[in-house]
Structures are given as structure tokens and as C-alpha cells.
């Protein structure tokens, strides 16, 4: 049967990508349907009960700045918040939170269900329906067809998911859930290339059988930081994590059973996550290390389950138990859910454009783990952008592509569509060439306006932002124009902070440039009429103290922007460009770069090839003008 209502946007999957995609499309005014296999597993955290971390925290703040949901939900359901790398420079600090996994899931379920313009339904999608190269809907396993002008696929690890525990294997999308067996066949029939990747997760342990007294306690920050720029509070009780270590005995057990590890051995065909390696991988790759960290992370306030972070494994159950019991504090531990590896189908992401729309089928978008990424934040970021772009296309507005110089989301998507990925891709600060201007603290300064322009930032959030901007501007002006005279009180403070005394009138701005001083010291010399909010004060401190570095990076962006601005026409005929090698020509045809900047980032595309491409573009333009 064909369902009576016709939607603008249909989202398949209700994981981290699916929820953001559906919310964005609906909030932008599109009638939207989110179809998912099981309504009880909306926004489930398949692996670690945590959001954020290095570079991932940046993504969450950018999602929030654009008007996405992840930051709000984790603020409401987090049970421990920390800023990682606090002692390092502001560019590499990352906010991380432990989540109450079930409360996170239920909170997101409530948000999507209450969203106006969004229908949420249970259904297993098996086929994408296409007519004349354009998507027109989807069909479920019980024969219901839903019609939509755009379809966003966000199916995570579910496409032909196959779980491995030791040498036992069985089809599953995630522990305890069905796989999606037919959808990737439908994509293959439509001409998409499909690859295979793998990932793994550790066992979940019974907290009543863990001796925490043998471990070191890891409390969160007090006060806990926020992800959302419109912070509303942390309603849940905050709890600690615990740290212990593997030892030589653990490693011996692992080495002795490697032939039974599908993650390490050759049983799994898919490529695994180099950046979240299994304990088998770590023991073999870092053979000189006599121990590895294991963090015991609570899965929630109302459960005894603990996530054993650091010992992701696909070893057989009996070896998992022995290995865990060899660890200090886990001698008596009971496994509640065993660790496992999963392999799954993905669609190599050079098949999509920066808008996340597929090149092959108009109106069809891919987002999240289906594009070869790993991680909730990477998935959510893509989901948000796919939802935004599907809505913009339906409204006949120009799509939104974020530049590498303005966001980690831009880096993520550009990396995927330009270079593809042969292994699960996760975000790192080292992937961003303009790290100093892409900080967590200024994500709102970079992206709030864009979120507002597309209609995702509501009046209340916009008001918070404009007030913050005003207070920063006013305070910057005050610091520039207020001078302090040398005097005993001033110089005593300066000397106490280990910096030289002043001998003439000096502006507060000049003083704040000194690395020994913080904004807190400056206001003791001359306070503003109204005290500043901490995030505005932080912004001022960073902008003034890192001004030189920031300016240098902005100059670099300016230099490269001319390459990014040189747009390559969609109908560029690479086969007709003389002088290109077959390899370069093939890569350009596969990726279809949007600009000379993007073309220059494709691996193997040389500066000489770029020159030939620029000449060909000039010729084409002149030909058109002459024609």
C-alpha cells in the first residue's frame, strides 16, 4: 500500500544522525517522516556512554551553534562533565560528558516525538524508490510505500550487520537488534559502490562485582561545563569514573588467544578503526607497553552497568572473562553484556557531494556511519547538515556548505567527499589546518548567524547570542581605552603574578596580552560596570592573548580562499583535458570536486594537474563567452 500522506523529507534511521536530520528538516518547515526499525532504540549509544571529547566536543558545540539538538540533550542527561586538555592551548581543549544512556535516549525520543511537522514511525526500510534518476520514496518490509521528495539514509552499523564474538558470528545491527539485510542491496542495484567496515565494543560489567577501592577515582569538573550555548542547567546527580590498568598477565592471555579474535585475525573482511583499536590490537601494536588504561564508566544513575573503556574486544566470552578478571579491581567481575565486533556495509563517501546529496540519485542523501565515519558526534554533524540541505533544496534555496576554515563540520565533510575513507573515520583536532580559529569556545561566533539565517536558531537563543556579542565588544573597547597608572597596588599584583611592574600608564588590553595574567587579574585593576559572563570573559582573554597567532591563521585562510572560490562547473569534462594522467583523470571524475581548492586536496592530484585544470576551465569559459 502507499501511505496517504506525501512528505517533503523522509529520514531512515533514528540514531544520532537520523534524529538531527529529522529535527532540522522539520524545524525548517518541511513535512518530515522519520522511519526507524525500533521506536525503543531512538538515539541509542551503541558503544561508549559518552558525548564529546577531543575534537568531538568541537563538533557538538558546532551542532549546537547551528541549532542542532545533541548539546541540549547531553546537558540535560549528563552525569559527569569535564574539559579535557584544560592545561593546553584553547584550540585543543575538548568538553566531554558521561551520559545516563537511557535518559539520553528517552530525552531525545521525547524531543523528536514532540517536534511539530515531524512524524515518527516504526518501519524497516528495504528499498529506495527512484524514478528518472530522482528519489520518490521508500518501501518497508511489510510492503508500505512512503512518498517523499528527499530521502536521508542514516542506518549506522545496521546494513548487513554481522556480529562476531570469538569464532561465533550472527547477523545483527547492534547487540540485541536485527540487522538491515536488504537496503544495501537496493543501493547496489541503484549503482552505488558498497564497502565493508568493522568496529568493536567492550564488555559491560556489573558494578556490584567491581572493587572500586583498588582503582583511582576520576571526578568531573566542578562546576560542570556545558555543551549548549543556551545552557539551561545540569539536572542530574554527578558521579565519578574509575581508572585501572591492564597488566602483563592480561596481555599474555590476549596473546595466547589471538587466533580466536576476529577483530585481530583474518575472519572479518571489513577494515577496523585504527583510532579506537581493540585491546588485541593495542597489545600487539604497542608490544613494549606493560599496561594500558581501563576506565570504568557508569552507564547511568539507575543501573549497575559499567562500560569498560579501553578493552574493546572480539575475543571469545571465556577469554573476555579471564582477561577482565586479571585486571586490578576486576578480580571478581561479572560480565553483563559481552564485548563484540561488528562488520557492516557502508557507502564510500566520494559518492556524495558537500551537501551530502548523492551524485547518482537526486534527492537522496547519506549521513552518519553509512558514510564510513565512526562516532555519535560525527554522525550527528552529518545528520544535521543533510537535514538542512534537504530542506534548503526543497525550498529552492542555495545549499549550505561549511568551509574548512569555519568549522570542524566543514573539515569532516570535505575530508569524506574529497578523500573518501578506507577505515572508520573519526575526527581529530589534527585534521583541521586552521585549529586556532576553530575553537570550541567560539563555535557560536563562527556559526550562530548561519543557524539563524537558515531558520534553526530561535529568538531566545539568538537573543542570548547577541547579548554575548555586545558585551564582548563593549568590554574589548573598554580594555583598549582604560589605562592604569603605575602605583603600588598595580605593581604588587603584577609582581605577585611573576610579570614585570609598569613604569608608565598602560592599557588593560596591553596588560592582558601578558601570558602571566588572566582576565580575572585585569578586572581587579579596573572592573567593568557590570560583571561579564564567564564565557564572554574567556572569549576576550583568548582573543587578546592569541591575537598574533589568530591573525596569521586568518591571513592563511584569506590566501587559500581564492582557490576555494574558483568553482569548477558541474559539467566539466575531465576526459577532454589534455595532459592529465589516467589516475588523476579518474580521481577527478570520481570526486567531481566543487572547487580548485577541493581538487588540490584529492590525494594524487599534483600541482601540475591543477594548472592543467585551471587552463581547461579558462578555455571553457572563453569558449562560452565566444559562443
Ligand X SMILES: Cc1cc2nc3c(=O)[nH]c(=O)nc-3n(C[C@H](O)[C@H](O)[C@H](O)COP(=O)(O)OP(=O)(O)OC[C@H]3O[C@@H](n4cnc5c(N)ncnc54)[C@H](O)[C@@H]3O)c2cc1C
Q: Are 38 and 156 in contact (CB under 8 A)?
A: no
Q: Does 376 bind ligand X (CB under 6 A)?
A: yes
Burial 279-295 (b: 16+ CB within 10 A, else e): bbbbbbeeeeeeebebb
Give 170-221 as a DSSP string. EE-SBTTB--B-SHHHHHHHTT---EEEEEEE--EEEGGG--GGGSEEE---
Q: Site for ligand X (CB under 6 A): which residue of 72, 77, 102, 154?
A: 154
The minimum distance between CB 398 and ligand X, in angstroms, equals 26
Q: Which grid cell sits at 359? A: 551524485
Q: Does 157 bind ligand X (CB under 6 A)?
A: yes
Question: 20 or 535: whose CB is closer to ligand X?
Answer: 20
Q: Are 276 and 426 in contact (CB under 8 A)?
A: yes
What is the distance, to the nearest Å, from the Cα of residue 547 to the centroid of all Cα atoms in its chain? 28
Q: Does 18 bind ligand X (CB under 6 A)?
A: yes
Q: Does 14 bind ligand X (CB under 6 A)?
A: yes
Segment near ligand X (CB under 6 A), from 25-33, 154-162, 236-244, 278-286? 154-162
The minimum distance between CB 459 and ligand X, in angstroms, equals 29
Question: 380 or 568: whose CB is closer to ligand X?
Answer: 380
Question: 14 or 392: whose CB is closer to ligand X?
Answer: 14
Question: 31 or 309: whose CB is closer to ligand X?
Answer: 309
Question: 280 or 509: whose CB is closer to ligand X?
Answer: 280
Segment near ligand X (CB under 6 A), from 6-14, 405-413, 489-497, 529-537? 6-14
Reported as type and span, the H/E element at residue 341 is strand 340-346
Cα separation, 203 vs 567, whole angstroms: 49
Q: Does 368 bind ligand X (CB under 6 A)?
A: yes
Reported as type and span, the H/E element at residue 109 is helix 101-114
Give 7-35 as a DSSP string. EEEEEE--SHHHHHHHHHHHHTT--EEEE
Q: Site for ligand X (CB under 6 A): which residue of 23, 24, 47, 577?
A: 47
The minimum distance between CB 69 and ligand X, in angstroms, equals 13
Burial 9-34 (b: 16+ CB within 10 A, else e): bbbbbbbbbbbbbbbbbbbbebbbbb
Cα separation, 550 vs 434, whole angstroms: 9
> Would you give the binding string for ligand X spanning residues 469-508, x where CB under 6 A is met?
----------------------------------------
Q: Does 308 bind ligand X (CB under 6 A)?
A: no
Q: Site for ligand X (CB under 6 A): which residue of 3, 6, 29, 38?
A: 38
420-449 residues in contact with ligand X (CB under 6 A) are 426
Name the DSSP class of 450: H
Question: 61 or 164: whose CB is closer to ligand X?
Answer: 164
Task: Say if strands 204-206 and 216-218 run parallel, antiparallel, or are unpaired.
Answer: unpaired
The minimum distance between CB 510 and ligand X, in angstroms, equals 44
Segment near ligand X (CB under 6 A), from 62-70, 155-163, 400-408, 512-520? 155-163
Q: Does 338 bind ligand X (CB under 6 A)?
A: no
Task: Say if strands 305-309 and 162-165 run parallel, antiparallel, or are unpaired.
Answer: unpaired
Q: Are 437 and 550 in contact (CB under 8 A)?
A: yes
Number of neighbours of residue 237 by Cβ within 10 angstroms: 9
Residues 6+ apart with CB under 8 A from 69: 19, 20, 23, 63, 108, 111
Cα separation, 262 vs 510, whole angstroms: 60
Q: Does 351 bind ligand X (CB under 6 A)?
A: no
72-101 residues in contact with ligand X (CB under 6 A) are none
The minimum distance between CB 579 and ligand X, in angstroms, equals 41
Cα separation, 78 vs 101, whole angstroms: 9
Q: Site for ligand X (CB under 6 A): which residue of 10, 11, 17, 152?
A: 17
The minimum distance between CB 50 and ligand X, in angstroms, equals 9
Helix (H, G, I), strand (E, B) or coil at 82: strand
Q: Does 46 bind ligand X (CB under 6 A)?
A: yes
Q: Does 36 bind ligand X (CB under 6 A)?
A: yes
Q: Site for ligand X (CB under 6 A): which residue of 74, 118, 125, 315?
A: 125
Q: Which grid cell sits at 225? A: 561545563
The minimum distance between CB 201 and ligand X, in angstroms, equals 4
Segment near ligand X (CB under 6 A), from 30-38, 106-114, 439-447, 528-536? 30-38
Q: Does 374 bind ligand X (CB under 6 A)?
A: yes
Q: Does 277 bind ligand X (CB under 6 A)?
A: no
HEC sequence for 266-326: CCCCCECCCCCCCHHHHHHHCCCCCCCEEEEEECCCCCCEEEEECCCCCCCHHHHHHHHHC
Cα separation, 509 vs 531, whole angstroms: 17
Q: Does 218 bind ligand X (CB under 6 A)?
A: no
Cα separation, 267 vs 265, whole angstroms: 6
167-206 residues in contact with ligand X (CB under 6 A) are 173-174, 180, 183, 199-201
> Would you give the binding string for ligand X spanning residues 553-592, x where CB under 6 A is met?
----------------------------------------
Residues forming the site for ligand X (CB under 6 A): 12-18, 35-38, 41, 46-47, 124-125, 154-158, 173-174, 180, 183, 199-201, 276, 342, 368-369, 374-376, 379, 426
Amino acid at each position: 500500500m502507499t501511505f496517504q500522506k506525501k512528505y517533503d523529507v523522509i529520514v531512515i534511521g533514528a540514531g544520532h544522525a537520523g534524529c538531527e536530520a529529522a529535527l532540522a528538516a522539520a524545524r525548517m518547515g518541511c513535512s518530515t517522516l522519520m522511519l526507524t526499525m525500533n521506536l525503543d532504540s531512538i538515539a541509542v549509544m551503541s558503544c561508549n556512554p559518552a558525548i564529546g571529547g577531543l575534537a568531538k566536543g568541537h563538533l557538538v558545540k558546532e551542532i549546537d551553534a547551528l541549532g542542532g539538538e545533541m548539546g541540549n540533550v547531553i546537558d540535560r542527561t549528563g552525569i559527569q562533565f569535564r574539559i579535557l586538555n584544560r592545561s593546553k592551548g584553547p584550540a585543543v581543549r575538548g568538553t566531554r560528558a558521561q551520559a545516563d544512556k537511557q535518559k539520553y535516549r528517552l530525552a531525545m525520543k521525547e524531543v523528536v516525538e514532540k517536534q511539530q511537522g515531524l512524524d515518527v514511525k516504526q518501519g524497516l526500510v528495504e528499498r529506495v524508490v527512484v524514478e528518472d534518476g530522482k528519489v520518490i520514496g521508500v518501501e518497508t518490509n511489510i510492503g508500505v510505500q512512503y512518498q517523499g521528495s528527499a530521502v536521508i539514509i542514516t542506518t549506522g552499523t545496521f546494513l548487513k550487520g554481522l556480529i562476531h564474538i570469538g569464532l561465533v558470528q550472527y547477523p545483527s545491527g547492534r547487540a540485541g537488534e536485527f540487522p538491515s539485510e536488504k537496503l544495501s542491496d537496493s543501493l547496489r542495484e541503484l549503482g552505488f559502490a558498497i564497502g565493508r567496515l568493522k568496529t568493536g565494543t567492550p564488555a559491560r560489567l556489573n558494578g556490584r562485582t567491581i572493587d572500586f577501592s583498588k582503582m583511582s577515582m576520576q571526578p568531573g569538573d566542578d562546576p560542570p561545563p556545558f555543551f549548549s550555548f543556551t545552557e539551561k542547567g545540569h539536572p542530574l546527580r554527578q558521579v565519578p569514573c574509575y581508572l585501572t590498568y591492564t597488566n602483563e598477565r592480561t596481555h599474555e592471555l590476549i596473546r595466547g588467544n589471538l587466533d580466536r579474535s576476529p577483530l585481530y585475525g583474518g575472519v572479518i573482511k571489513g577494515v577496523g578503526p585504527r583510532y579506537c583499536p581493540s585491546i588485541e590490537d593495542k597489545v600487539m601494536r604497542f608490544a613494549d607497553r606493560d599496561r594500558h588504561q581501563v576506565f570504568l564508566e557508569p552507564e547511568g544513575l539507575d543501573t549497575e552497568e559499567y562500560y569498560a573503556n579501553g578493552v574493546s574486544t572480539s575475543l571469545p566470552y571465556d577469554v573476555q572473562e579471564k582477561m577482565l578478571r586479571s585486571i586490578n579491581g576486576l578480580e571478581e567481575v561479572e560480565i553483563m553484556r559481552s564485548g563484540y565486533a561488528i562488520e557492516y556495509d557502508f557507502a564510500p563517501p566520494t559518492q556524495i557531494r558537500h551537501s551530502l546529496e548523492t551524485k547518482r540519485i537526486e534527492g537522496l542523501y547519506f549521513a552518519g556511519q553509512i558514510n564510513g565515519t565512526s562516532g555519535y558526534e560525527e554522525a550527528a554533524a552529518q545528520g544535521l547538515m543533510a537535514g538542512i540541505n534537504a530542506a534548503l533544496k526543497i525550498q529552492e534555496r542555495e545549499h549550505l556548505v561549511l568551509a574548512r576554515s569555519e568549522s570542524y563540520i566543514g573539515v569532516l565533510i570535505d575530508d569524506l567527499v574529497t578523500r573518501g575513507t578506507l577505515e572508520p573515520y573519526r575526527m581529530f583536532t589534527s585534521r583541521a589546518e586552521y585549529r586556532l580559529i576553530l575553537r570550541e569556545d567560539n563555535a557560536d561566533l563562527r556559526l550562530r548567524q548561519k543557524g539563524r539565517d537558515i531558520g534553526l536558531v530561535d529568538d531566545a537563543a539568538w537573543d542570548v547570542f547577541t547579548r554575548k556579542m555586545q558585551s564582548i565588544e563593549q568590554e574589548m573597547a573598554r580594555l583598549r581605552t582604560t589605562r592604569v597608572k603605575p602605583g603600588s597596588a598595580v605593581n604588587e599584583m603584577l609582581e605577585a603574578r611573576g610579570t614585570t611592574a609598569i613604569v608608565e600608564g598602560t592599557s588593560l588590553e596591553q596588560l592582558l596580552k601578558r601570558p602571566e595574567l588572566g582576565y580575572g587579574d585585569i578586572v581587579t585593576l579596573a572592573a567593568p560596570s557590570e560583571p561579564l559572563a564567564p564565557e564572554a570573559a574567556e572569549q576576550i582573554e583568548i582573543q587578546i592573548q592569541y591575537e598574533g597567532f589568530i591573525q596569521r591563521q586568518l591571513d592563511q585562510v584569506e590566501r587559500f580562499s581564492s582557490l576555494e572560490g574558483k568553482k569548477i562547473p558541474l559539467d566539466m569534462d575531465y576526459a577532454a583535458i589534455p595532459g592529465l594522467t589516467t589516475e588523476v583523470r579518474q580521481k577527478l571524475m570520481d570526486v567531481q570536486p566543487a572547487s580548485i581548492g577541493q581538487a588540490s586536496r584529492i590525494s594524487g592530484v599534483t600541482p601540475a594537474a591543477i594548472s592543467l585544470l585551471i587552463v581547461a576551465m579558462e578555455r571553457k569559459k572563453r569558449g562560452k563567452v565566444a559562443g
